[in-house]
Amino acid sequence: MQKWIFFVLFILAGALGLGVLFQDISERQDAKAAEAAGSKMQQLKIAASNWQFDSTDYTIKKGEPTKVSLSLKEGVHAIEIKGLDIKLDKENPSKEITFDKPGEYEIDCILPCGEGHAKMKAKLVVQ
């Protein structure tokens, strides 16, 4: 008799555990879907490593909300996009902005990062 009670309790506990697991997965899928719907925002991702950026030129469209983000692949860096109010570093790695004026802007590393620091530049083209 006790074996049957333990067996039923075991099955109920397993079913309860699976229910909690699938509920959590469902909630995460809903959150990802909501994030994807809200993130139709243009992305400008700048990756910095020792004395260089991952690209020499970046291009984005004007008039669209844009999330500018800095990732540090190697070393410690901070950037400034000259002519705009954008400074990113380890503490503030991203900023949302709408680029209203087309043109070319210079991206510079503003944190002395070693012997190649002076060459650490890139160009942003807003079309």
Instruction: Please indicate, yes or no, whether residues 73 and 122 belong to a single structural domain of this protein.
Output: yes
108 with 89: CB under 8 angstroms? no
Structural domain range at position 3: 1-40
Instruction: Please indicate, yes or no, whether residues 29 and 49 belong to a single structural domain of this protein.
Output: no
Instruction: Please indicate, yes or no, whether residues 53 and 100 belong to a single structural domain of this protein.
Output: yes
Residue 2, both tokens:
């006790």
Pairing of the two strands 42-49 and 65-72: parallel
CATH number at residue 56: 2.60.40.420
Instruction: Please indicate, yes or no, whether residues 55 and 117 belong to a single structural domain of this protein.
Output: yes
Domain count, the chain: 2
Query: What pLDDT sits at residue 5?
Result: 84
Instruction: Please indicate, yes or no, whether residues 71 and 46 belong to a single structural domain of this protein.
Output: yes
Tell me the average pLDDT across 67-77. 93
pLDDT in tens, 8-63: 888 887 777 767 766 666 666 666 766 665 557 899 999 999 889 999 999 999 99
Give the global pTM. Answer: 0.66
115: amino acid identity, one letter: E
Instruction: Please indicate, yes or no, whether residues 69 and 27 belong to a single structural domain of this protein.
Output: no
Instruction: Please indicate, yes or no, whether residues 7 and 17 belong to a single structural domain of this protein.
Output: yes
**What are the beta bridge partners of residue 66?**
42, 97
Instruction: Please indicate, yes or no, whether residues 35 and 47 belong to a single structural domain of this protein.
Output: no
123 with 60: CB under 8 angstroms? no
Q: How many residues does the chain have?
A: 127
Instruction: Please indicate, yes or no, whether residues 73 and 120 belong to a single structural domain of this protein.
Output: yes
